[in-house]
Amino acid sequence: MIDFHCHLDLFSEPQSAAEAAHEAGLYVLSVTTTPKAFVKTALLAKGKKRIQTALGLHPEIAHLRKSELPLFDRLVVETRYVGEVGLDGSRDFAAHFEDQEMVFDHVLSSCAKAGGKIISIHSRNAATKVLDALERHPGFGIPIMHWFSGTPSQLRRAIDMGCWFSVGRPMLKSSKGRQLVSTIPRNRILTETDAPFTTKDEKSYQPAEVKTAVEELASLWEISPTETGNRLKDNLRTLLAA
């Protein structure tokens, strides 16, 4: 199973969360929220080849961490994966939207300069602005929209632009989310948890979260969970071979 957006470093016990994911045989994209967290978070994945670590600068803290952009530029050559990055247009973060856009533009241009990255992107209440930013930076890589919650027409535009999508249990449990997921091409979907934020017990990793997402997708696609799991694995293989 695949968890393509998980915050291993934000669990109360990161090491045991990483061990649990590894023991469950999960493919994990371990995202970070600041460049300073990258090196230490990457150590959690040491010796665990199914866990890959992404370099991030989360939009909710872009204004507090923009001074880490030079560090971002130094580290970006060390990984194929970037995230969590993006924009958040919610009222709580609107005051710093200019900083968010500056940071996201910088990140995308840095990714383009580095030859393109696989990027896990946050776009809550800002899908149009995110897609506009992606268009400004050709060569940035492959965008994976994490927990996409935009409108059907924003989703259409994202699909047409070549975006991939990581979908989790909360998205698949809501009727709006299911409606969106049913529109996404099946060969551009991966599963995610966004743990520990979505889990009850934040001490240990919860592979059951991904399992539920796979089962929900299976019911939406009207195929078996096993077949769904195989297709998701094919998708991951395709993504990594791109």
Task: By CB under 5 A, name the one of 3, 60, 101, 194 that touches Mn ion.
Answer: 194
The token duo for 86 is 């993006």
- The distance of closest approach from Cβ of residue 56 to Mn ion in the complex, given in angstroms and rounded to an integer, is 9
Candidates 150-158, 167-175, 181-189, 193-201 — which segment interacts with Mn ion by CB under 5 A? Answer: 193-201
Contact code string over 74-113 relative to Mn ion, x by CB under 5 A: ----------x-----------------------------
- The distance of closest approach from Cβ of residue 194 to Mn ion in the complex, given in angstroms and rounded to an integer, is 5
Comparing CB distances to Mn ion, the nearer of 84 and 88 is: 84
Comparing CB distances to Mn ion, the nearer of 31 and 42 is: 31
Comparing CB distances to Mn ion, the nearer of 87 and 231 is: 87
- The distance of closest approach from Cβ of residue 5 to Mn ion in the complex, given in angstroms and rounded to an integer, is 6
- Contact between 92 and 120 (Cβ < 8 Å): no
Ranked by CB distance to Mn ion, the top (closest) residue is 194
Name residues whose C-beta falls within 8 Å of residue 41's C-beta, 6 or more positions apart in sequence.
8, 9, 14, 30, 32, 53
Name residues whose C-beta falls within 8 Å of residue 206's C-beta, 6 or more positions apart in sequence.
193, 195, 199, 200
Comparing CB distances to Mn ion, the nearer of 75 and 144 is: 144
| E-strand stretches of the chain | 2-6, 27-30, 51-53, 81-86, 117-122, 141-146, 164-167, 189-191
DSSP secondary structure, 88-114, as one string: --SGGGGGGHHHHHHHHHHHHHHHHHT
Comparing CB distances to Mn ion, the nearer of 194 and 209 is: 194
Helix (H, G, I), strand (E, B) or coil at 228: helix
- The distance of closest approach from Cβ of residue 8 to Mn ion in the complex, given in angstroms and rounded to an integer, is 11
**What are the backbone angles phi and psi of residue 89, rounded to the nearest 5°?**
-95, 15
Contact code string over 139-178 relative to Mn ion, x by CB under 5 A: ----------------------------------------
Comparing CB distances to Mn ion, the nearer of 8 and 231 is: 8
**Residues forming a β-bridge with 117:** 141
**What are the backbone angles phi and psi of residue 2, rounded to the nearest 5°?**
-120, 130
Comparing CB distances to Mn ion, the nearer of 207 and 231 is: 207
Size of the site for Mn ion (CB under 5 A): 2
Please tell me the distance from the alpha carbon of residue 195 to that of residue 209, in angstroms, as a whole number. 9
- The distance of closest approach from Cβ of residue 168 to Mn ion in the complex, given in angstroms and rounded to an integer, is 10
Q: Which amino acid is at 48?
A: K
The contact set with Mn ion (CB under 5 A) reads: 84, 194
